[in-house]
Amino acid sequence: MAPKKVFGIVLAGGEGKRLMPLTADRAKPAVPFGGNYRLVDFALSNLINSGLLQIVVLTQYKSHSLDRHVSQTWRLSSLTNSYVASVPAQQRLGKRWFAGSADAILQSLNLLRDEKPDIVVVVGADHVYRMDFRQMIDAHVESGAGTTVAAIRQPIELADQFGVIEVSPDDPARIAAFREKPSDASGLVDSPGQVLASMGNYVFDADRLVDAVLRDGERAESNHDMGGDIIPDFVSRGDAAVYDLNRNEVPGATDRDRYYWRDVGTIESFYDAHMDLISALPVFNLYNREWPIYSEQLNSPPAKFVRDANGNLGMLVDSIVSLGSLLSGAHVERSVLGPWATIESDARVVDSILFDRVRIGPGARVQRAILDKEVVVEPGATVGVDPQADQARGFTVTESGITVVGKGVHVA
């Protein structure tokens, strides 16, 4: 039997309103993560590590930063017809933007007609996880279904936060119902305290995907969404299978991060995912050499930690520090520092995330905060120490007290 030709589509056109102000000047998949990465790097690394070598990234809102990152970072060999290509909204069906994720695929069907794949893998661009899609593809082919939905087990009390998959009692690999954020979910037969939550990753037979998005495009009442419209359509026709992430074996995975998956679509979840990185035995392990997360290789010097001008030592503990960063007599604890961060004498940065080229002046205090690129905290200034004062200065403060400072702001 001839091997199936597989094509990858990364849905990267979302606005990311819940991540404001981090998405004020960039698409959500382009938001920096973990120091040296962008959110889109996790989806692309998983696809590349799984052996997919023809991938498109469908973009739309504020896409310049994302398009530039894809073009500079994800260069594959043209000699083998391997590529990762950023494809903006082309308005092939009229002068309109994508009306939803399914409409994005509908307006990009020329890509499938050009490549003529047998299988199409469709993934989101704003989740942090590892997954071998080749194993899911094999399970999809074996199932005979038109689509297979990747699912991760979640506590039943969190069911109202996810799209929940209910399986057929006669065939636990088939989806009997797909319910959006149910308040009355039933637990799994083999684990009553858990439900199967959709990961937003799908495998399709190419011809059945084309048929589904064409029919969806004709439905005026549709929201043209993959999870909200296309998958329920497959389920209603008994043509949808489920792939439990528990079946997936990623090389080099640890027991602690084997089935890790986070949707980082809110400031709270984005912050929590960073805190998952910094323990001695991290909940998500960036150091898996057998399944690396790829990103842009910065032409930068190593990070440097020195005494200040008065010979005072700083402290750095439980933190990630990126290339080009300089800490001079500063105290950094439980934080993630992006490239070229500078933290000066007697400054304290605790429980915080700093993006590229952030500068913290002498004696400044940053606590439980996210600082976007090129933020300058002037000598003696504070961020996150007094959330009410931060709000009065116009900074975003979440319900749990995380302060977010937008790109290029000077904190006096």
CA distances from 227 to 11, 114, 163, 218 (A): 12, 26, 8, 17
Cβ atoms of residues 240 and 143 within 8 Å: no
CA dihedral 216, 222, 228, 232 (to 10 degrees): -50
Give the whole-angstrom CA distance, residue 340 versus residue 326.
Answer: 7
Give backbone dihedrals phi and psi of 30, rounded to 5 degrees, phi first. Answer: -90, 0
Query: With contact defined as beta carbons under 8 Å apart, do 383 and 366 qualify?
Result: yes
Residue 163 assigned ligand-binding role: yes
Residues in the chain: 412
d(CA 27, CA 12): 8
Three-state DSSP class for 103? Answer: helix
CA dihedral 45, 24, 408, 40 (to 10 degrees): 0
- Strand partners of residue 153: 196
181 a known binding residue?
Answer: yes
Letter for the amino acid at 47? L
Residue 102: CA atoms inside 13 Å, Cβ hemisphere, count?
Answer: 24
Known binding residues are 163, 180-181, 198
Known binding residues for alpha-D-glucose 1-phosphate are 163, 180-181, 198
